[in-house]
Structures are given as structure tokens and as C-alpha cells.
Amino acid sequence: MSTASLGHVEAVVRITAQACVDNEKYFGELDSVVGDGDFGYSMARGFELVIQDWDGFDRADIGTFLKKIAVVITSRIGGTSGPIWGTAMLRAASTAGAVTSLEPAQIVAMLRAGIEGIKARGRSDVGDKTLLDALVPAVDTIEQQIAAGADTAATLRAAAGTARENAEATRAMQAMRGRASYTGERSIGTLDAGAVAVAVILEALADQWPDLPARS
Amino acid sequence: MSTASLGHVEAVVRITAQACVDNEKYFGELDSVVGDGDFGYSMARGFELVIQDWDGFDRADIGTFLKKIAVVITSRIGGTSGPIWGTAMLRAASTAGAVTSLEPAQIVAMLRAGIEGIKARGRSDVGDKTLLDALVPAVDTIEQQIAAGADTAATLRAAAGTARENAEATRAMQAMRGRASYTGERSIGTLDAGAVAVAVILEALADQWPDLPARS
Amino acid sequence: MKKFVNDPQQFVPEMLKGIALANPDTLKYVPEYNLIMRIDAPRADKVSVIQGSGSGHEPAHVMIVGKGMLDAACPGDVFAAPPMDYVLETSKLLNSPKGILHIINNYTGDRMAFEMGKEMAEADGLTIGTLLVDDDVAVKDSTYTVGRRGVAGNFFVIKAVGAASEQGADLDELLRIGEKVNSVTRTMGMALTSCTPPAKGSPLFELGDDEMEMGVGIHGEPGRRREKLANANAIVDELLEAVVTDLPFSKGDDVALMVNGLGGTPISELYILYGYAHEQLAKRGINIRRNYVGEYCTSLDMAGTSITLSRLDSEIDGLLGAPAEIAIRTF
Amino acid sequence: MKKFVNDPQQFVPEMLKGIALANPDTLKYVPEYNLIMRIDAPRADKVSVIQGSGSGHEPAHVMIVGKGMLDAACPGDVFAAPPMDYVLETSKLLNSPKGILHIINNYTGDRMAFEMGKEMAEADGLTIGTLLVDDDVAVKDSTYTVGRRGVAGNFFVIKAVGAASEQGADLDELLRIGEKVNSVTRTMGMALTSCTPPAKGSPLFELGDDEMEMGVGIHGEPGRRREKLANANAIVDELLEAVVTDLPFSKGDDVALMVNGLGGTPISELYILYGYAHEQLAKRGINIRRNYVGEYCTSLDMAGTSITLSRLDSEIDGLLGAPAEIAIRTF
Ligand SMILES: Nc1ncnc2c1ncn2[C@@H]1O[C@H](COP(=O)(O)OP(=O)(O)O)[C@@H](O)[C@H]1O
Ligand SMILES: Nc1ncnc2c1ncn2[C@@H]1O[C@H](COP(=O)(O)OP(=O)(O)O)[C@@H](O)[C@H]1O
Ligand SMILES: [Mg+2]
Ligand SMILES: [Mg+2]
Ligand SMILES: [Mg+2]
Ligand SMILES: [Mg+2]
């Protein structure tokens, strides 16, 4: 993986936002099985705002840009997802700081900080059948790919594969956190909506990365 | 048609009551199409009481017996049917008076009095798409059969045929009275529940008459 | 059938028992006649106000018995007018020297039962006045028809008459007030779904997923027209147009506006309808002085609504504003 | 989807606008934060009581803002906890020198939004107390779980706290009272049908014609168990057993009994449930001092019910009986 510019960070946010808008119905259906069906709607309404206000976000540096996005997410997405995704973004933004480019190691540190934010906010961990069950192994893969010297496209493709595999694996798990946990053992056999969302987003990133114009 | 005894009158009432109880669902379905679906329920609950209290009705004479039945119908059947059927029975009972047998002409007079009672109570007439559209021609047939010297079984069979034919003919009519009239032209194409009930009762009488044990 | 029911034949009696158990200090249940009455009725200084109709319209009318409203309600079974007997015996039990007022929604069965009950009660020496409610503009009114139905507008008639009777008005005065309120009250309803009577166990009629029934009655009778399902605002427009042009209501009129739920529509949706109706009336220059959003006259579990407008003068306004207490309450 | 809706995304805002238009003298709507607040709030002599949760539970909570109840409610979208922003801005707008009380139903999303909103508001100098409501016995409570949900029992907490705050109680006193009421309140719910969120347009889950869902939540989450559809009395028995044995409620206890409709169940059926529940509690020697029959906390158009019991002492009894005024009213 090579050094990431603000342009790369912008691309990641933009693709993520578009994936959440495009998958509103799908994410909603996933959350309907043992949840309350609002996950797709909440994410779509929040990331819609990100797209709508796109040109207005302060792009002084990567940390500032991500922080502005995080504020929209945290303050405008309801449900559990707003605080979870917003906290993750905020922690990542702080970890990045006032820089205009990121080394691979910094990117991993940002992702790890985001994960710690989710765990703290959600009083949750890997194994609880949440998005963490896709996100944490995917970040492990990213770290491994970087260590192995893979390029960005290959790194994303590998991370997407890990996320999808682990999202599928949530089927076997019993939910210990979030609304799905109320159904107890009945949650076994269903996919976690948040974990699938992580896979979908990473797949979108992997798919669209090679086509991106070079950025400054 | 021969002279009717109190036993014959009892049989008519009993068969009528049983037919209404047996056809609760059917009458209800008929009233659901452009009505409110309660016709079968109302009739069944009222005539159930007639059967339940059967042995207790005063049988001093035909008029008294019919009056007691009429009181149960009028006071215990709700909807439009209670007042309509009750009034008819009451008028028939008064016309019969304190007798223990009825000549054919008296029977026709009773039926005609019942019809007048319905018309007065319902501010209705033949052509309004109500039970009158089956009942009036059926009584005409009874009168004709008597004039032609037919026996009771044949008279009932002929009356049932007329009632059925005319009940079917209500399909072509637009309801001018009762709840079905609210639907205006949409009532055309549907059977009137009350008219079909008249046919069903007369058919039950025709079917069961030959099998009845001779009565005093 | 997705209903809370034990024996469908006991649906009405069990409901009435529940009402009485929940209001032991104010209401009494007389099982023989499906009768819910005020525990302090009849009173010598007050005309007794009685309403009876089919069941299935709750809170109308058994849950609106109480101070400033009805003295008693004697419903029939679901969607069936009460048997004549109930009317007669209820009238006897509620007999007051100031007389009795029968409030009847204009349906054939109800009219007959009250007509016969009144005749027999009068033969027993009771004094009875009769008020007919017929506010439903969905039904054409002419000498050749059975006339308009009484629907949700009956709430305003009962409220006004109930308040006046509480204040000691005599029977003639109540008849005058009730007829006045009825004459300036108009309602139009529509359904998104049918309803399911407990004894039938299946819907009274079928509506396609993209259909709605305009001008529906409160007994699950189909309406005048089946239309393609429209959005909330378009539905309000159609209902308002029918109601406003009928009286007609005009610029400068003071009105009470009711958005009534038919039983299966949640209150959230009723407020969406209310908000738009309010704005549209304001645009026409009609002043909403009082508003009523909720379930007043239902059709079991039917999803649907009706909109009622009643023109206010200071007398009616005062009577609608007078205190009242009924089984339906939040606290 | 058989609903009154224009744009599903405007479902909540349009409802809130309707509530404000229907109550111009008492309530105010602030569109930016889905906020319904008392027109006279904040008051210097009163702690501001705020509740926010997902929408779709109406009348909870936007329709129970008013004198003696909430000072404000800032709901999220249907079934979605309010964004943190709403909590923060609502708290700022409602800031009183006596402080602010957040009443939160115990759900992950709601807790997070209020936790974050509180942190940020406190950084701005506001004084905020937090009350968690978790009355749902359908959910197992242990250190390994997210704990019980807050459901219809929140009405009793809000009523008691609202009355006390109206009487001038300070924040600590309100916390004491709220925690006490919550600690003696238990609820169990069940569904006959799913509900249909407007944005989804189809039912959240499918229930067979002969099935029911026991222990259902108020967000259309499935319950703990799917069972064969039973009659009304059997359902009441099962709900009561769960509720009574949990606290447990004992012979001689004075209680408030609530039979709550989930949105699609008509009031007639709720009274059938009430009547039987009343009798069964009486048989256990439990004294029903107060009763509540109707819709308090719904799940959109779900057909279903929940039963709540709250044990009364003289303090709670007095607070539940204190006067209150909200959007939900008959007259
Ligand atoms: N405590 C938690 N920690 C981390 N993630 C969680 C937690 N609870 C839920 N989630 C994630 O959030 C997703 C649901 O989000 P959303 O629908 O917004 O929540 P809600 O249950 O409030 O409706 C779940 O699929 C899960 O991945
Ligand atoms: N005015 C009337 N005169 C005579 N018969 C009538 C009249 N109105 C209705 N009916 C008959 O009554 C039947 C419906 O009875 P019922 O269901 O008890 O009445 P509803 O439910 O409309 O009060 C109709 O099918 C019709 O035959
Ligand atoms: Mg969700
Ligand atoms: Mg009928
Ligand atoms: Mg009827
Ligand atoms: Mg949610």
C-alpha cells in the first residue's frame, strides 16, 4: 500500500457514503430479521447528507476533513449506528491529526483507534455478533497485506474478502449486544446487518479503487 | 292444502328456527357483500333462543303461541331483522287469534298481514331489494296453489321454487332500502340476504314436510 | 383472525364487563341489556340521555357514558342495532321525571328498535324525545333513500346535548340543541382496509393492496367508490372537499375539526392527516376553534379515517368546551 | 402498505407539525431537532424533563408533552434513537437553572445518544440527570446482557416524575422518585401481527395466521418465543404470570394496572383483556387502585398488547393522580 493523500481519503469516504445510500433497502432488510429494520434508513439519511454537503467540508487537512464528516454522522444518524460509526470516525480523525498524507502504518493506527472507539461506545467486543466481527479481522488483513508489501487495490480486495467471510460467519453466532440480543438463541442463523455493511463497503472500495483517477 | 293444527304451526316455527341456526355462516356471508355481515349472527342468536325455550312457550292457542315466539324475535334479535321478522310474526299472530286450527284462507291472511307489517315497519315495498321480493311472490304462489287444490307438501314446494327464483332475481336489482342501499348501483349484481333466507326457509319446510309425523 | 377474543358471542359482554371493572365508581353494567349506565343515573333534575347502536364503534358509545356525556348506552351485538327490548328496558331503568332523550344514528335497524321501544315505553307512561344523527355526506339524501348515516359527528351531538342536560336543560331544549348541532355537522370517511367482525372471523370485504374505499360506512359496508390508493394529502383533499362543499362551510366560519381513526390506524398517521387538513382549511379562511384527533367512532380494526366538521356558534362552542368525564381517559 | 403517508422520510416531521397545529396554545415544534416542547418551557422554577426515543411509539413520547408530564420530546426517526445532536440541542433549549432530567428507555442506541449528548451539554455547563427505564420482563437481565428494555412502563415513570417536577421537586428528588417507580414497574408484551414501518413499506416480520409472538419489543423486534395463537384469557394469563412473578407482586399489594394497545388493536379488545386481568389479579389478592386501558406505548400499527403493573405507595399514588395535560385528549 502506498501513501494516502487527502484525495484518497476523500475517495474512501465518498465511496462509503454512496454504498450506504445505494444499499438502503438491503441493509434495512438485514436489520428486519432480528432487529427493527431501521439500519439502512438511518445510514442512508446520514450519508446522503455527507454527499449533499460534500463540497462544503473543510479540507484543511485529513484530520479536519474526517472530523467534519464524523460530526455529520454522529449528530445526524439516529439509532445505534450514529454513535457507533460517528465515534469510530472521530477517533480515526484524531489519530490522523493535521496531516495531508498518511503512511500505511498511520492508516492502520486510525482504523485501530476507530475499532477501540466502537468497543468503548458499544461496551462490545469481537464475538458479540456486531460489525466488529467483520471489521476487526478485515483490519488485521489490511495490516498483513501492508506487511507483505501489497498495493492498495490488492489490500482492499483482501480486506473485503475477509470481511465478507466473517460477516457470513456471524450467522452461526448468538447476538450478545444490540437489539438482536433480545431474541436470544433465535438470533442464531441470521446475518448481522452491521457486519454485512462493513463487507459491502469494503467490496465497493475494492471494486472502485482501480478505476479512480490519480489524485494529488 | 289442508287445515293446519297447532302442531303444524309448531313444526313450521321449529323448522324455520333450525334453518336459521343451521345457515348462520351462509346468511352472514350473503350480508357481507354489500351489507355489514351480521344478518346470520342476529337470526341465529334469536332463533337459538326460540329452540332453547321451546317447551316453555304458552300453547293455549295458535295466536298465543305465535305471539310468544314473536316477542322473543322482536326483543332479542338485533339489527334490522329483529323488528322486521318480529313485526311480521306479531301481525300474523294477531290475525290468527285464539284458534287451535287454521283454514287455508286464514293462513294466507296471516301471511299477508305479516307482509303488511314488514312494509309498514320498513317503509319498504316489493322492488326495494329486500326479503319482500322473495316473500310476496311466494305467498302469491301459496294462494294460487290453494285455489288449485294442491296439498301442503306441493304448496310448500311450489312456494319454495318461487322464493328461490325471486331471490335469485334480486341480483339484478338496486337496493333502495336497508344498508345495501348505501352502496347505490354497486348493490346490483349481489343477492339480497333476506330474500335468500326466505327461500332457504321455504325449502327447508318443503323438504321436511313429508317426513313429519302426523300431528294432532 | 388476529384478535383478542375468547368466545365471539361473548365479545360484547366481556368488553362491557371490562369497562365496568375499570370504572367501578362511575359506571354500572347491566348484563341483561348490554347496558352501561352512570352509577348516579337516573337523576330527577336531569333528562336521561341514551344512545344505542351496534357494537364495534368503540369508544362510541359505551365508553362515552359519563358526566356531561351519555347517561347510558345499550349496544346491540357487533354491527347489529340493539334489540327493541334493550331500548325499552334501558329507558325504564333510566326514567327521569324530566324525561328521556334517545339519540339514534340514522340506520334502519336502529330507527326501528328505538321506534318500537319508544312506543312501548310511552305506553308505560315514559316521556321520550328522539334525536336522529345523520352527518355522513357519503350517502345521498333524498326522499327516495333511507337518508344519511350517522357516523363520527354523533360525538359532537352527544357532547353538546350531554353538557346541556348536565346543566339542567329540559327535553325540548335538548332536542333544539341536538338538531342544531346535527344540522351543521358533516362527515366523510374512507378505508384503507376492511374490518374483521369477531363472529365472522374474516374481513368483511377485500381491498387490493393498491386500492382504497371512499365513502365507507362504519359497519364495514363498502363505500360509494373504490379508488386507486392515494397519498395522505390527496385523501385529505378529497374528504375535505366533500365535507366543506356539502354544508357548505364558508370563509370566516368557526369550526370544530375532527380527524377520527377507524380502529386500525395509529395515532401518528392521524396527526399527519390533521396537520394537512388544518392547513387546507386555514387556506380556505375557515377558523379551527376546536380540534379532535383520535378514535371517536370506529369500525372494529379497520384502517381508515373520517373527517368531521361542525360549525360553531357561541352556544355550541360553550357546550363542546364544558367539562365531561368518560371511560376513555389517559390518566 | 396501507398507511396514511406522503413521503416516508417526512413521516415524523409531518406528524410533529400536526401535533403542534392541534395544540397551538400549549406546544411548540422545532423542526431542526424533531422537537416538541411546552410553549412555556423552560421554567426557572422547574427541572426540565426530556424524553427521546425512536418514533413509532405514539402517543409516547411526543404526544405526552405537557403540564405535569414531559417538557419536551425529541424523537428520532421511526424506531431509530434520536441523533446525538437532537439530545444536545434540546437540552440547551430546555436548560433550566434547576437542571435537566433525561428519561431514557434502555436501548443501546438511545443510551449512546443521550450519553454523548449529555457529555457535550455538560461541557457547555448544563446540569443533567439521567433516568433509565427498563421494565420489560421479556428480556433476561444479567451482567452479560444489554439489560431489559424500556417499554410501556415508562408512562408511569414520566407521570410520577412529571408531577413531582411540576410541584417543584429538585433533580435529586426526581431521580429518587423515577428510580423508585421504575424499580416497582414490570411489563410483558405480545404481538398478534407485525408492524409496517413507513420507510420499509412491508411488515418487519411474518406471523402465521395461527401464530403469536410472546415477549415482543416495541420496535417490531421479534420476541422470545413464537407460540400457537391462544384465546384472550390464555394470553392474559401468560402475560400476568410473567409480570406478577418477576417483581414479584404479592397479595395485599396496591397496584396500577395498564393494558396497553400496540397500535392496531381496537379499544374494544383491550377492555376484554382488562376485564379478565382485573379479575385474575383480584383472585390473587392484588388491589387495583388505578387502571389504564388504551394506547400508551405503541409499535406503529402492530396488533398486540402489553400488560404493566406498578406497585403503589402513597407517594407514587399521589403523583399518578396529580393533574396533567397532554396532546392526547378526548375533549
Ligand atoms: N453495542 C454494540 N456495539 C457495536 N455494534 C453494535 C452494538 N449494537 C449494535 N451494533 C451494530 O449495529 C447494528 C444495528 O444498527 P442499528 O439498526 O442502527 O441499531 P438499532 O438496534 O438501534 O436499531 C447491528 O447490526 C450491529 O452490527
Ligand atoms: N327497510 C326494510 N324493509 C324490509 N326489509 C329490509 C329493510 N331493510 C333491510 N331489510 C332486509 O333485512 C336484511 C338485512 O338484515 P340485517 O342484516 O339484520 O340488517 P342491518 O344489518 O342492515 O341492520 C336485508 O337483506 C333485507 O332483506
Ligand atoms: Mg436497527
Ligand atoms: Mg346486516
Ligand atoms: Mg347490522
Ligand atoms: Mg433502531
List, as one string, the DSSP characters of B18-43. HHHHHTHHHHHHHHHHHS-S-HHHHH
- Where do the H-state alpha helices sit in D23-77? none
CB B214 within 8 A of CB C255: no
Confidence class of residue A212 from pLDDT cuts 50, 70 and 90? low
Tell me what the mean pLDDT of segment D145-170 comes to: 96
In a domain, A215, yes or no: no
Ligand 1 touching residue A38 (CB < 6 A)? yes
Percent of chain C whose predicted confidence (pLDDT) is above 90: 93
Looking up residue B66, the CATH number of its domain turns out to be: 1.25.40.340
- Report whether pLDDT(D33) > 90: yes
Q: Rounded distance, CA A144 to CA A150, Å?
A: 9
Query: Nearest CA to D83 among A45, B39, B141?
Result: A45
Confidence class of residue B213 from pLDDT cuts 50, 70 and 90? low
CATH code of the domain made up of D8-183? 3.40.50.10440
- Report whether pLDDT(C240) > 60: yes
In a domain, B215, yes or no: no
Mean pLDDT over each residue of chain C, to the nearest integer: 96
Q: Let me know if the fold of C8-183 is the same as that of C185-320.
A: no
- Give the long-range contacts of residues C28-35, CB within 8 A, separation 24 or more: C30/C93, C32/C89, C33/C74, C33/C82, C33/C85, C33/C86, C33/C89, C33/C90, C33/C93, C34/C74, C34/C75, C34/C76, C34/C82, C34/C86, C35/C72, C35/C73, C35/C74, C35/C86, C35/C89, C35/C90, C35/C93
Percent of chain D whose predicted confidence (pLDDT) is above 90: 93
Tell me what the mean pLDDT of segment D205-211 comes to: 93
Q: How far is CA D292 from CA C19, C29, C212, in A?
A: 11, 19, 34
- Burial class of B106 by CB neighbour count within 10 A (0 to 12, 13 to 18, 19+): middle
Residue D192 has a pLDDT of: 97
Confidence class of residue A184 from pLDDT cuts 50, 70 and 90? confident
CB C186 within 8 A of CB C308: yes
pLDDT digits (tens, 9 = 90+) for A94-148: 999 999 999 999 999 999 999 999 999 999 999 999 999 999 999 999 999 999 9
Tell me what the mean pLDDT of segment C20-42 comes to: 98
Tell me what the mean pLDDT of segment C150-158 comes to: 98
- Report whether pLDDT(A214) > 60: no
In a domain, A216, yes or no: no
Q: What's the one-letter identity of residue B132?
A: L
Identify residues whose C-beta is under 5 A from ligand 3, the ion.
Answer: A 31, 35-36, 38-39
Tell me what the mean pLDDT of segment C82-93 comes to: 96
Tell me what the mean pLDDT of segment A160-170 comes to: 98
pLDDT digits (tens, 9 = 90+) for B104-139: 999 999 999 999 999 999 999 999 999 999 999 999
Beta bridge partners of C167: none
In a domain, B216, yes or no: no
- Burial class of D8 by CB neighbour count within 10 A (0 to 12, 13 to 18, 19+): middle
Residue C175 has a pLDDT of: 98
Nearest chain A CA: its distance from D285 CA (Å): 32
Residue D144 has a pLDDT of: 74
Ligand 2 touching residue B190 (CB < 6 A)? no
Beta bridge partners of B182: none
- Where do the H-state alpha helices sit in chain A? 6-22, 24-34, 39-52, 62-76, 81-96, 104-122, 132-147, 152-169, 193-208
CB D5 within 8 A of CB D15: no
For chain B, the straight-line distance linking the first and the last C-alpha, in angstroms and rounded, comes to 16
CB D273 within 8 A of CB D243: no
Tell me what the mean pLDDT of segment D212-216 comes to: 95
CB C296 within 8 A of CB C258: yes
- Choosing from B43, B84, B133, B198 the residue with most ligand 2 atoms within 8 A of its CB, the one to mutate for a pocket test is B84
Question: For chain A, how many structural domains are there in total?
Answer: 1
CATH superfamily name and code, D185-320: Dihydroxyacetone kinase; domain 2 (3.30.1180.20)
pLDDT digits (tens, 9 = 90+) for B41-85: 999 999 999 999 999 999 999 999 999 999 999 988 999 999 999
- Report whether pLDDT(B100) > 80: yes
Here the cell at position C330 is 389517559
ipTM metric: 0.94
Structural domain spans, chain D: 8-183, 185-320
Residue C161 has a pLDDT of: 98
For chain D, the straight-line distance linking the first and the last C-alpha, in angstroms and rounded, comes to 31
Range of the domain at B54: 4-210
In a domain, A20, yes or no: yes
B81 φ, ψ to 5°?
-70, -35
Ligand 1 touching residue A130 (CB < 6 A)? yes
Residue A216 has a pLDDT of: 43
Mean pLDDT over each residue of chain B, to the nearest integer: 94
With a CB-CB cutoff of 8 Å, which residues 121-160 of chain C face chain B?
138-140, 144-146, 149
- Report whether pLDDT(A213) > 80: no
pLDDT digits (tens, 9 = 90+) for C97-141: 999 999 999 999 999 999 999 999 999 999 999 999 999 999 877
Which residues from D are below 8 Å from A74, CB to CB?
83-85, 116
Residue B212 has a pLDDT of: 67
- Choosing from D108, D110, D200 the residue with most ligand 1 atoms within 8 A of its CB, the one to mutate for a pocket test is D108
